[in-house]
Amino acid sequence: MDEIKKNLIGLSRAELIDEMARIGEKPFRAKQLWHWMYNRGETDFAVMSSISKVMQARLSETFEVRRPKVERELLSTDGTRKWLLKFDDGNEAETVFIPDMDEERGSVCISTQVGCTLTCKFCHTGTQLLVRNLTAAEIVGQFMAGRDAYGEWPTPDDTGRMLSNIVVMGMGEPLYNFDNVATALEILMDGEGIGISRRRITLSTSGVVPMMKVCGERLGVNLAISLHAVTDEIRDRIMPINKKYPLRELIQACHDYPGASNARRITFEYVMLKGVNDSAADARALLKLIKGLPAKFNLIPFNPWPGSEFECSDHKTVKAFSDILQDAGYAAPIRWPRGRDILAACGQLRSESQRQKKTQPES
């Protein structure tokens, strides 16, 4: 069997410099590689023309520049595209590209874990037990595979690029895999490579309170909270993490989030579940809960999946809920599901990877 060579994707700049030092090369070599890998999207050392032929051969003896394998690609009638990616160990995760309505740019929704520990009751991903955390290479690789598919290498100017934004909202809870997520986002933000601005990246958490400040301080990306309920009673029921970090602590952590301001509001995601969290009283309680925070809302009509116990609120109820928030001065768009026909909408991502018997503790 062929030996798997070390993948240079996913190493931080410091780690890449260390790898080069191991084969007797100076930091300059790491800088050259960084440019080829992340600015030009090149995977073949033989094409890296600023590196000598001898050196190209040496690099290819030990290393590789590898993406996850695209196992399946699905295109929705609304332009949403979903990739099922296979990693070196055979595990799989999904990545989605959601074009804006004007179709000139859009967001790549990346996954951070295979499966999830958190079992949010409205989320299909939550029915897949955690298999493992994704590595930094696998997280960066999702975005790079998207760029490959859209032929967006080398990095053009900020204008005219389809894959312009990143939302860390796919499979898994990113703050339960923070080190790898942070390394990956730092690579994606690096100005000499892919160069996505932190203002174009939004990380969504179900509310891992102790990690929120750490995330804001290290990465400074936009924050989104999967809120979905305005009382501990309902949130405990639909999002078990609330028993560990109740609403009061979660909202305080939002107040403490570094960098949140009126120009960079915290997004509160709110899935509309019929008869559970969708009344006018809930909308008013929501306003009270987030009072004083620079906030905006995304109202997400529930996307049913086989075996789910909820129904979506009806159109009129969702509209009334949105109106109450908007009348109070907040943006509260209704995010009608995208990519529904290919199960690419919020909370619908899933893969067939199964957890091996008791190899991972649940958190």
Among residues 45, 141, 347, 350, the one that binds ligand SF4 under rule CB under 6 A:
347
Given the structure tokens 């899933």, which residue do they identify?
A: 350
Residue spans of beta strands (DSSP E) within the chain: 6-7, 63-64, 69-75, 81-86, 92-99, 106-109, 113-114, 132-133, 163-168, 201-205, 222-226, 266-272, 295-301
Stretch in the footprint of ligand SF4 (CB under 6 A) among 62-70, 98-106, 156-164, 165-173: 165-173
CA angle 344, 346, 348 (to 5 degrees): 55
Given the structure tokens 């995601």, which residue do they identify?
A: 269
Q: Write the DSSP symbol of residue 194.
A: T
Residue 173 sits in the site that holds ligand SF4 (CB under 6 A): yes
| C-beta of 68 vs 172, nearer to ligand SF4 | 172
Quote the least distance from Cβ 149 to ligand SF4, whole Å.
Answer: 23
d(CA 26, CA 24): 7
- Site pattern 136..155 for ligand SF4 (x: CB under 6 A): --------------------
Environment class of 39 (CB within 10 Å of its CB; exposed 0-12, middle 13-18, buried 19+)? middle
Residue 226 sits in the site that holds ligand SF4 (CB under 6 A): yes
Nearest of 122, 129, 98 to residue 303 by alpha carbon: 122
| C-beta of 51 vs 253, nearer to ligand SF4 | 253
Residue 222 sits in the site that holds ligand SF4 (CB under 6 A): no
Q: Is 94 a catalytic residue?
A: yes
Residue 112 sits in the site that holds ligand SF4 (CB under 6 A): no
Residue 118 sits in the site that holds ligand SF4 (CB under 6 A): yes
Among residues 123, 137, 139, 238, the one that binds ligand SF4 under rule CB under 6 A:
123
Which residues make up the interface to ligand SF4 (CB under 6 A)?
116, 118-120, 123, 125-126, 171-173, 206, 226, 347
